[in-house]
Chains A and B, each alone.
Chain A
Amino acid sequence: MTMTRNLIALSLAAGVALAALPAAAQQAESPAPPKLSWSFSGPFGMYDQAQLQRGFKIYREVCSNCHSMDFLSFRNLADPGGPGFSEAQAAAIAAEYKIKDVDDKGQPIERAGRPADYFPAPFPNAAAAAAANGVAPPDMSTLAKARTYSRGFPWFIFDMFTQYQEQGPDYIHGILTGYEDPPKDFKLPEGGHYNKYFPGHNIAMPQPLQDGQVTYDDGSPQTLAQYSKDVAAFLMWAAEPKLEQRHRIGFQVMIFLIVLSGLLYFTKKKVWHEVEAPREAAHGQDPAKTTL
């Protein structure tokens, strides 16, 4: 017993030592962005169509001036589990874009967009994007899954059970609302902008959104906080367009597996009954002296 107790004490000590480590290492890092509540979080989470439409408006009027979104096409706007535009609306949106193509004679032309076209990039290539912006702005197709922040021990373990999967949108919302004046002792390099939540605080992108910048038609508050949340939700959909289908099928699969496991458990119980509780024992005989 002493040995077991020693062992438990040792492992506890090791655990505490490990847990204490990140505290020292994290001081230099950025603060964690606030955790927001998202309609798409949790096992039954679904996108808020109105929010995705507002987010798309911000993407279209602000973000898309510098950021590409290569993997999304106009038809995706009418896909189930998305912003909920009708096919006609998606086609109308596509028609407002100019798409580079070649005509029957092989001559380069610009034509109106069609639902099957992908969102055109604002710059012809990465070098042009970098020349215009200092740094090439990242593509937005997978951005909400490509950005995160360190959760640290022990939070990353709890995240497994709480299903926290929204680090990306939380981080994007944090960045969009995290612009502020640099502290006095912070030396901001030329062309940089101070952002509370950006690793190293020096971000190339100037503050993209201000209060009142984009007009909402549905009466939602036209504030930076609302804009940031809406565009982060939109980017989450852009990165994970099949989330609703995943949650729906996931629930069905879970129910199926739990029922199946239950049935298999009782099957196993029945099969093993003779081995685990020999009937000789029940009759007060010594099972070692009989055969199974």
Chain B
Amino acid sequence: MSGHSTYQPQNKVMQWLETRLPIGGLIHSSFVAYPTPRNLNYWWTFGGILSFMLGVQIITGIVLAMHYTAHVDLAFRSVEMIMRDVNYGWLLRYVHATGASMFFLAVYIHMFRGIYYGSYKAPREVLWILGVIIYLLMMATGFMGYVLVWGQMSFWAATVITNLFSALPGIGEAIVTWLWGGYAVGNPTLNRFFSLHYLLPFVIAGVVVLHVWALHVAGQNNPTGIEPKSDKDTVPFTPYATAKDSFAIAVFCILFAWFVFYIPGYLGHADNYIPANPAVTPAEIVPEWYYLPFYAILRSIPNKLLGVLALFSSIGILAFLPWLDTSRVRSARYRPLFKQFFWLWVIACIGLGYLGSKPPEGAYVLISRIFTAYYFGFFIIILPLLGIFEKTKPLPNSISDSVLKAKA
């Protein structure tokens, strides 16, 4: 689908360069001539939004790192000095901290969209798995970034999450000591988290390049889930997708700015404005909102080892999605039953998110267990069976057919 390059540079310098390094042609075929299905809706703009957010996080992060000090005695103070004494430091920090939340919000919408329209199915399995890898890297990066603030919630989140590995039989304790670089979360832990928090975004950027490459080989999926058959089904990336993505990014920035300028504290936890104190455990230890569904899954299982395994499986299972879903029809638009189970699954994910913020007691635990069972049941029971039993609706002949029918 990436096709041959039709790039013909007019400029002499560019012609000279093109015969030696055809980078102009690469950019032209990837971001100008690249054919995109003409029926993409606004849910398809989140790829562009995510690239934009990665850029925002890397740029603000590099500047913040110039002012941050990764030491247990100085980290909290250095963050506060960024807020108070660095010119526009408060802006950099609020953009970076809120940006992490916006990044996750966008990635969740991107993932839900991928699942709804069956974007993981052949020939896009590798594209999907690369996406799961990016998501895993994002989770690790976000977690370590949260620890750098070195507030109470940073410290105790680091303690709880690293301690998860101690559930592994035999080697667990040794792994935790190795992760900490000591016998408790301390200065070596903070330092290595800073180092990795700076490294991983560039790893993410690298995998994003592979993700986009795989996308441009297989071509974009679209709301009908059928492949483009002729030129009538597609439009060139520029100006069509660029114009649409730019508009979507600007609207997304309005939401982003709302949080940054008006409710910067909304997405954080008040306890993280208390400096880390290993001697005082907070009343409740809660991760950032974007990890809450997984935290609820962890706590819904009474056995620690099984809970940790469930936590990791809940993310790992996503990588197997292309083979768990046996249906040959991609888009939920033509899968009446799948559509309902999908929305129930979204409700289970959001419900788990809410329950993850609640203490693990009474009815909360019971409902967490029901949602956890549904979360896994959706993947390992419902999806394989649906492909066999579901009666799908007839597919349109082509993308342009479906577009014209919708207009008629």
Residues of A within 8 A of B94 (CB): 246
Q: Which of B22-30, B51-59, B112-120, B269-277 contacts A (4 or more CB under 8 A)?
A: B269-277
Tell yes or no: A153 within 8 A of B by CB. Answer: yes
By the criterion CB–CB under 8 Å, are A43 and B257 in contact? Answer: no
Interface string of A258-292 (1 = CB under 8 A from B): 10110011011001100100000100000110011
* A165 with B359, Cβ < 8 A, contacts A257-B253, A272-B240, A292-B232 known: no
By the criterion CB–CB under 8 Å, are A250 and B240 in contact? Answer: no
Tell me, rounded to whole Å, the shortest Cβ–Cβ distance linking B84 to chain A: 6
Contact of B246 among A4, A148, A264 (CB under 8 A): A264
Tell yes or no: B266 within 8 A of A by CB. Answer: yes
Contact of B80 among A142, A160, A246 (CB under 8 A): A142
Residues of A within 8 A of B250 (CB): 257, 260-261, 264
Tell me, rounded to whole Å, the shortest Cβ–Cβ distance linking B70 to chain A: 19
Tell me, rounded to whole Å, the shortest Cβ–Cβ distance linking A224 to chain B: 25
Residues of B within 8 A of A6 (CB): 340
Tell yes or no: B21 within 8 A of A by CB. Answer: no
By the criterion CB–CB under 8 Å, are B251 and A168 in contact? Answer: no
Contact of B90 among A25, A138, A242, A272 (CB under 8 A): A242
* A146 with B271, Cβ < 8 A, contacts A21-B363, A288-B400 known: yes
Tell yes or no: B262 within 8 A of A by CB. Answer: yes
Q: Which of A9-17, A183-191, A210-218 contacts B (4 or more CB under 8 A)?
A: A9-17
Contact of A146 among B274, B354, B364 (CB under 8 A): B274
For chain A, residues 20 to 42, give those with C-beta under 8 angstroms from any C-beta of chain B: 21-22, 24-25
Tell yes or no: B167 within 8 A of A by CB. Answer: no
For chain B, residues 87 to 115, give those with C-beta under 8 angstroms from any C-beta of chain A: 90-91, 94
Q: Which residue on B lies nearest to A242, using beta carbons?
A: B90
Tell me, rounded to whole Å, the shortest Cβ–Cβ distance linking B281 to chain A: 14
* A147 with B266, Cβ < 8 A, contacts A25-B362, A257-B250 known: no
CA distance in complex: A233, B346 (Å): 41
Interface string of B264-287 (1 = CB under 8 A from A): 111000110111000000010000
Residues of A within 8 A of B343 (CB): 7, 11
Residues of B within 8 A of A76 (CB): 84
By the criterion CB–CB under 8 Å, are A287 and B262 in contact? Answer: no
Tell yes or no: A109 within 8 A of B by CB. Answer: no
Residues of A within 8 A of B13 (CB): none
By the criterion CB–CB under 8 Å, are A147 and B270 in contact? Answer: yes
CA distance in complex: A258, B258 (Å): 12
By the criterion CB–CB under 8 Å, are B235 and A275 in contact? Answer: yes
Tell yes or no: B83 within 8 A of A by CB. Answer: yes
By the criterion CB–CB under 8 Å, are B363 and A272 in contact? Answer: no
| Chain A interface SS verdict (over half) | helix
Contact of A250 among B38, B261, B266 (CB under 8 A): B261
Contact of A271 among B81, B243, B266 (CB under 8 A): B243
Q: Which residue on B lies nearest to A142, using beta carbons?
A: B273
For chain B, residues 330 to 371, give those with C-beta under 8 angstroms from any C-beta of chain A: 336, 340, 343-344, 347, 351, 354-355, 358-359, 361-364, 367
Tell yes or no: B315 within 8 A of A by CB. Answer: no
CA distance in complex: A14, B235 (Å): 42
Tell yes or no: A241 within 8 A of B by CB. Answer: yes
CA distance in complex: A10, B374 (Å): 14
Tell yes or no: A239 within 8 A of B by CB. Answer: yes
By the criterion CB–CB under 8 Å, are B90 and A268 in contact? Answer: no
Tell yes or no: B247 within 8 A of A by CB. Answer: yes
Tell yes or no: B239 within 8 A of A by CB. Answer: yes
* A141 with B239, Cβ < 8 A, contacts A18-B354, A165-B266, A249-B261 known: no
Tell yes or no: B254 within 8 A of A by CB. Answer: yes
Tell yes or no: A145 within 8 A of B by CB. Answer: yes
Tell yes or no: A167 within 8 A of B by CB. Answer: yes
Residues of B within 8 A of A281 (CB): 407
CA distance in complex: A246, B168 (Å): 47
Residues of A within 8 A of B80 (CB): 71, 141-142
Contact of B247 among A3, A146, A163, A265 (CB under 8 A): A265
By the criterion CB–CB under 8 Å, are A268 and B244 in contact? Answer: yes
Contact of A165 among B247, B263, B283, B354 (CB under 8 A): B263
By the criterion CB–CB under 8 Å, are A264 and B247 in contact? Answer: yes
Tell me, rounded to whole Å, the shortest Cβ–Cβ distance linking A32 to chain B: 15
By the criterion CB–CB under 8 Å, are A163 and B265 in contact? Answer: no
By the criterion CB–CB under 8 Å, are A167 and B270 in contact? Answer: yes
CA distance in complex: A274, B83 (Å): 49
By the criterion CB–CB under 8 Å, are B257 and A253 in contact? Answer: yes
CA distance in complex: A184, B257 (Å): 50
For chain A, residues 231 to 254, give those with C-beta under 8 angstroms from any C-beta of chain B: 239, 241-242, 245-247, 249-251, 253-254
By the criterion CB–CB under 8 Å, are B232 and A146 in contact? Answer: no
By the criterion CB–CB under 8 Å, are A250 and B243 in contact? Answer: no
CA distance in complex: A241, B90 (Å): 10
23 A-B pairs (CB sep. < 8 Å): A18-B351, A18-B355, A24-B363, A25-B358, A71-B84, A142-B80, A142-B273, A145-B273, A146-B274, A148-B270, A168-B270, A239-B273, A242-B84, A246-B91, A246-B261, A247-B261, A250-B262, A257-B250, A257-B253, A267-B243, A275-B38, A281-B407, A291-B231
Contacts beyond the supplied A21-B358, A268-B247: 16 A-B pairs with Cβ under 8 Å: A3-B340, A18-B354, A24-B362, A25-B359, A139-B275, A141-B80, A142-B273, A146-B271, A147-B270, A148-B270, A163-B262, A268-B246, A271-B239, A272-B240, A275-B235, A291-B231
Closest 3 CB pairs of A and B: A250-B261, A146-B273, A148-B270
Interface residues of B (CB under 8 A from A): 38, 77, 80-81, 83-84, 90-91, 94, 231-232, 235, 239-240, 243-244, 246-247, 250-251, 253-254, 257-258, 260-266, 270-271, 273-275, 283, 336, 340, 343-344, 347, 351, 354-355, 358-359, 361-364, 367, 400-401, 404, 407
